[in-house]
A and B are shown apart, each in its own frame.
Chain A
Amino acid sequence: MIAMGFDNVYESIGEDNDDRHWAFGTGFSETLSGVEQSLPIGIDVNDLAAYCLMLGDDALVMSHRLQEWVARAPELEEETALANIALDLLGQARLLLTRAGVVAGSGMTEDTYAFFRDENEFLNVRLAELTDADFGALMARLFVFSSWRLAILKRLRASKDQVVAAVASKGAKEITYHRDYAAQWVVRLADGTDESRSRIVAGLCALSPFISELFTASAVEQRMLYAGVAADLADVRTEVVGVLLEVFSEVELEPQVLGAGYCALSARGGLGGELDSIRSQMMGEHGSGSGREGILMGAIALAEMGEHGSGSGREGIHTKAMVELLGDLQSLARSYPGATW
């Protein structure tokens, strides 16, 4: 007979405390328990469902890109942080996609939305789907994405849709941490080594064609704003510009780093007089209250005129990166029809 110090392998785990309720499936409360789930009166359900999909797809797709970093982050602390952020966004996505299905009354679930829609049915902004050349590019993108999403969620806490308001309320707390994490890395990389500075600048520059889309309301968003459901993207833009400038100032990053015009000019080596003239135009156009703010606003405005300015993720138009992303996300679920997981 083998003498073991315990009859059940699990028994001795709880020896130092009385918490024996750690077992799978216990001790969790429903995220939305106590939240009013009925549909708000006088709201177009198709618009509301589409708006939930937009917010949900942003989170789902950004989470996917973060998941790709698992087991390849530069340090263990970053492994846990990135996975945590990915989990938070995935949680938000699940609630919002579920809400879209309930609102539309279509019988669609979080899974049918995630796995059985085609590329042109996804409504996320294209910034969420981009691949990241390196950790600097990821931090640049996460910083802009989190600053933008936080500004939206803060406003959605007062949304007329109680579920959207509840998700936003929980999500804003999570994204406050994500933004702080990414901002710290932007600062660290910009003020680290010459290499890290050039990589974070390159990361920010690469985003420029996809910035204006963040602040351009689609028809659905405009109607939902009018109905008291959606966030006002003009307000969101003001907040995001303030946040970006604060962080950029910390490490002397030029605000036009995010402007398509600036990047296009840099690529051609045409800096100098040409940029100065654009800069002065921007200053004139956006007032003289704050020079740096004017420049960033102008950079965003310039980006709107760039070649990527037409079409947007909100209309189901995506980059090539999205096709690969969906192949990865959906292939297993689609390979086993009728399976239960």
Chain B
Amino acid sequence: MPTSNEIDCGFEAQDSFDAAIEDHKRIEPRDWMPEGYRKTLVRQIAQHAHSEIIGMQPEGYWITRAPSLRRKAILLAKVQDEAGHGMYLYSAVETLGADRAELTRKLIDGTQKYSSIFNYPALSYADVGVIGWLVDGAAICNQVPLCRSSYGPYARAMIRICKEESFHQRQGYELLMTMMSGTQAQRDMVADATNRWWWPSLMMFGPPDGESPNSAQSMRWGIKRHTNDELRQRFVDMCVPQAEALGVSLPDPDLRWNPERGHYDFGAIDWEEFRQVVAGNGPCNLERLRNRKKAHEEGAWVRDAAMAYEKKRAGAASVATSGPPR
């Protein structure tokens, strides 16, 4: 059944939407948009918001345990940024008519996903650095093109998010540089963490182009700018020299420069592992959702109290405005 918006606007609205996309103009919340565009964006932005919130957990564990006060401040600020990113993104998705509380419910009951990378554990402090370098690095490759997303609120949120993400990536890399110039035990930690996070990072770009059914439509709508495989290649090309500068080897015997393509070739990704983690069978899926659910449930009385308080104050204000009964 068409919405009243569609009836009022009819084909003209579709035409002006198409023209805006064609001219790389931004779609704003009050503009007419096809239902599929809205739904796809809600799913994409909500998934991104959920990823920021769940992504606080693996590194958040290390805040109280950080090995220096400077590293503690850096990590605390970073995890706080992630909460902030969640806030901007939930705000962006609310401009599409979604409700944050409802989205949170969908995260907790598993009907909406978050990035499967956060279902891997952060086992040592080197993981904090490697998550910054590789996971945030992959997120930047994915997200920088979204600063030019056709949907205005998302594009604007992404500009700020990408600035902060790139800050995190450099901080992660700087931690690894410091650790590599430390003791042998520290270098071993970095090597171990790199080995564990490399392949999951490559999976962050999603399935190969041939198996990514929604990509073509999303690219036509300007809410996806490059294909999964393009972005993955870009990431590999960026990381190889960074790994060399760091002095760690990436765990892929097939990784080598291909002068004909002008890119690095790399080995086959274990897509079965990816499917398993997405399906809920990763090392930390249960723990991540359990923690989120627990925090949400334990906070219910606080949110109820805040609502009750606001209601009382609003009631008091309306009595004050209307004056005493005569």
Chain A interface residues (CB < 8 Å from chain B): 1-2, 4-6, 9-10, 12-13, 15-16, 22-25, 60, 64, 67-68, 70-80, 83-84, 86-87, 90-91, 93-94, 97, 110-111, 114-115, 134-136, 187-189, 191-193, 195-196, 199, 328-329, 331-333, 336, 338-341
Contacts and interface: CB of A to CB of B under 8 A. Distances in A.
B175 A4 contact: no
A87 B306 CA distance: 25
A70 B171 contact: no
A12 B127 CA distance: 28
Contacts of B72: 67, 90
A16 B125 CA distance: 35
A338 B183 contact: yes
> Which applies to chain B's interface (DSSP): helix, strand, loop or mixed?
helix
> Which applies to chain A's interface (DSSP): helix, strand, loop or mixed?
helix
A172 B312 CA distance: 33
B171 A72 contact: no
B67 interface: yes
30 contacts: A2-B233, A2-B263, A9-B140, A9-B141, A9-B238, A22-B163, A22-B167, A24-B170, A24-B171, A24-B174, A60-B69, A71-B56, A71-B60, A72-B298, A74-B300, A75-B299, A76-B53, A80-B80, A84-B80, A90-B73, A97-B69, A115-B68, A188-B309, A196-B302, A332-B65, A339-B182, A339-B183, A339-B186, A341-B68, A341-B182
B303 A74 contact: yes
A9 B70 CA distance: 28
B13 interface: no
A87 B66 CA distance: 14
Given A1-B262, A71-B291, A188-B306, A193 B301 contact: yes
B308 interface: yes
B295 A71 contact: yes
Given A9-B238, A71-B291, A71-B295, A111 B56 contact: no
- Which of A23, A76, A187, A341 has the largest number of chain B CB atoms within 10 A? A341
B304 A87 contact: no
B145 interface: yes
A90 B75 CA distance: 12
Contacts of B53: 76
Contacts of A192: 304-309
Contacts of B306: 188, 192
A76 B69 contact: no
Nearest to B168: A24
Interface stretch (B30-38, B82-90, B242-250, B251-259): B82-90
A6 B261 CA distance: 18
Nearest to B170: A24
B137 to A, nearest CB: 9
Contacts of A329: 64-65
Contacts of A339: 67, 179, 182-183, 185-186
B71 A70 contact: no
B96 interface: no
A72 B295 contact: yes
B112 interface: no
A9 B144 contact: yes
Contact of A195 (B68, B301, B307): B301
Given A1-B262, A111-B69, A74 B299 contact: yes
Nearest to A79: B83
A83 B83 contact: yes
Contacts of A60: 69
Contacts of A71: 56-57, 60, 79, 291, 295
B178 A340 contact: yes
Interface in B265-324: 291, 294-295, 298-309, 312
Contacts of B163: 13, 22
A126 to B, nearest CB: 19
